[in-house]
Amino acid sequence: MLENELNELMMERHKKLDDLNEAGIEAYSNDFDREDIVADILDNFEELEAKEKVIKAAGRIMAFRNHGKSSFADIVDMSGRVQVYAQQNKLGEELYELFTSLNIGDHVGIEGTVFKTRRGEISIRVKSFKLLSKSLRPLPEKWHGLKDVELRYRQRYVDLVVNPEVKDKFILRSRILHKIRSYLEGRDFLEVQTPLMHPIAGGASARPFVTHHNALDIDLYMRIAPELYLKRLLVGGFEKVFELGKNMRNEGLSTKHNPEFTSLELYEAYADYEDMIEITEDLIKTVAQDVLGTLEISYDGLEIDLGDWDRMTMVDSIKKYAGVDFSEISTVEEAKALAKEKGVKVDDKTSVGEIINEFFEEFVEAKLIQPTFITQYPVEVSPLAKRNPDNPDFTDRFELFIAGNEIANAFSELNDPIDQKGRFEAQVSQREAGDDEAHMMDEDFIRALEYGMPPAGGLGIGIDRLIMLLTDSPSIREVIFFPHLRPEVK
């Protein structure tokens, strides 16, 4: 719709609002007592018709057809859509004229009885109605809708109104979250809340957002992960905890990244990363089966079987997909020479483990289409994971990949305060060398570990990415109500 056309239509609607005010008609009323929702009206039509029950429904007008002395409109509420039928000889000339002056987008309350039209469509015969909210902006045209992708994300409130499939996707998101909670509660996990503002950014390798607390006169970091606080709860005696909430990371935007996102983190005392593998697979399969009714899904043109899961070490995966065997590489010089040969940029890397990780990201990630657990991550890229007892250069850690996307990250948690302090010190050195995503030193967390944290397994799942997968959404912005965008250009 062109800007001048929009302005003309808005002027017409403002004129109607002025006319309503002049006539003493409230355009934003709040005294209609809705008693019936559309889905119940449609489901119980025969009973309602037989009893000639007067129903009271409310919703937004989404279609209007004026036939002179009678008019049809469609109203929509959260549960569905129903047709309403108004006649001048039933309402009276003045009230009927008010009805025909309504616009698509207006909210109305309807009182009447149900019947079926000659075409068999369930409808409400209007006995009275009330304007509840006047829409001053016209909705996008019926046949064109809201198609501009950025405009859809920026004006999600309109997107939800005119694109029903978008609303359905977010209803599915809510069901997925509910199922995750009920699954974990069924395994005796306790849901907890930890701070969103931290004195030290920790729990992940990421650049934080910084804010300032005036009363304390200190800078604080918006949470990049709840991990270190949840582990403090393990120290305090809580043995199974989870948090389903928001994290904020001051990073770039992409189809897989939004600076504010939802994650699940859970920790179980006396468990390890093998237990986390079992929970991860069972949780995702249970949610998919319960919410979608199947384990065979489509994502971005790919057929995914959530009933068939693979597993391999990081080194083995690189050998399979890149033809490079890092089990035969022992020095940084050898690893860098190999990287140069393969075109992998690793000039700033100081360990074989970091170079292994770069090879994995370059050659393997995108090829992991079916559900695959990648295990045994190098110590250098796993500062919070416990070392593998048989190969201490690697950790008992896994990441889950589906359709080339990282979905989950888990490990046997490091509970040795001396080892943990050494890892933090190594991270601090990386930070001082210019890596602003490296961990900071957290002396209080070390102190907590010194009191004794039980052996534990921990798991983090990117909820938005999981929902992308289960709703076949190629962009994270499709599954976040209000994704972050660049400022609107006027």
Does residue 184 sit in the same domain as residue 41?
no
Does residue 234 sit in the same domain as residue 123?
no
Least Cα distance to 1 among 146, 105, 135, 102 occurs for 146
- Residue 147: the pLDDT is 66
Domain that holds residue 173: 161-309+370-478
User: How many CB atoms sit inside 10 A of residue 382's CB?
Assistant: 22
Does residue 77 sit in the same domain as residue 183?
no
- 239-453-229 Cα angle (round to 5): 75
Note whether 385 and 411 are within 8 A (CB).
Answer: yes
349 part of a folded domain: no
Residue 264 gets the label, from left (phi > 0), alpha (psi -120 to 50) or beta, of beta
- Residue 143: the pLDDT is 41
Question: How far is 384 from 289, CA to CA, in rounded Å?
Answer: 33
Q: Give the model confidence (pLDDT) of 274-319 as tens digits.
A: 999 999 999 999 999 999 999 999 999 999 999 999 999 999 999 9
Does residue 262 sit in the same domain as residue 305?
yes
- Residue 430: the pLDDT is 87
314 part of a folded domain: no
406 among annotated binding-site residues: yes
Does residue 374 sit in the same domain as residue 281?
yes
Does residue 100 sit in the same domain as residue 222?
no
342 part of a folded domain: no
Residue 198 gets the label, from left (phi > 0), alpha (psi -120 to 50) or beta, of beta
Residue located via tokens 């998101």: 173
- Of the residues 105, 139, 173, which one is the last residue of a structural domain? 139
Greatest alpha-carbon pair distance for the chain in Å reads 92
Q: Which residues pair with 87 in a beta bridge?
A: 70
Residue located via tokens 């190969």: 391
117 part of a folded domain: yes
Antiparallel, parallel or unpaired: β 240-248 and 190-191: parallel
Does residue 123 sit in the same domain as residue 168?
no
- Residue 434: the pLDDT is 84
Does residue 301 sit in the same domain as residue 235?
yes
Q: Residue 457: CB partners within 8 Å, gap ≥ 6?
A: 267, 268, 271, 272, 273, 274, 275, 276, 410, 411, 412, 413
- Residue 145: the pLDDT is 56
347 part of a folded domain: no
Residue located via tokens 């933090």: 424
399 among annotated binding-site residues: yes
CATH number at 133 reads 2.40.50.140
106 part of a folded domain: yes
- Residue 205: the pLDDT is 85
> What is the per-residue burial (b if ≥16 Cβ within 10 Å, else e) of 75-107?
bbbebbbbebbbebeebeeeebebbbebbebbb
pLDDT (tens, 9 = 90+) of the chain, 490 residues, equals 567 777 899 999 999 999 999 999 999 999 999 999 999 999 999 999 999 999 999 999 999 999 999 999 999 999 999 999 999 999 999 999 999 999 999 999 999 999 999 999 999 999 999 999 999 999 987 545 566 888 899 999 999 999 999 999 999 999 999 999 999 999 999 999 999 999 999 988 899 999 999 999 999 999 999 999 999 999 999 999 999 999 999 998 999 999 999 999 999 999 999 999 999 999 999 999 999 999 999 999 999 999 999 999 999 999 999 999 999 888 999 999 999 999 999 988 889 999 999 999 999 999 999 999 999 999 999 988 999 999 999 999 999 999 999 999 999 999 999 999 999 998 899 888 888 888 889 999 999 999 999 999 999 999 999 999 999 999 999 999 999 998 887 7
Does residue 82 sit in the same domain as residue 231?
no
Q: Taking the CA of residue 215 as centre, how many other CA atoms within 13 Å lie in the half-sphere pointing to its CB?
A: 0
Q: 164-186 and 273-292 are packed helices; what angle lies between their axes, rounded to 10 degrees?
A: 140
300 part of a folded domain: yes
Note whether 413 and 269 are within 8 A (CB).
Answer: no
144 part of a folded domain: no
Per the structure, the count of domains in the chain is 2
- Of the residues 139, 172, 204, which one is the last residue of a structural domain? 139
Does residue 199 sit in the same domain as residue 304?
yes
Does residue 133 sit in the same domain as residue 168?
no
Does residue 77 sit in the same domain as residue 202?
no
Least Cα distance to 156 among 486, 479, 487, 489 occurs for 479
Least Cα distance to 376 among 368, 367, 388, 384 occurs for 388
CATH number at 211 reads 3.30.930.10
Residue at 321: amino acid letter: Y
- Residue 366: the pLDDT is 96
Q: Residue 437: CB partners within 8 Å, gap ≥ 6?
A: 205, 206, 207
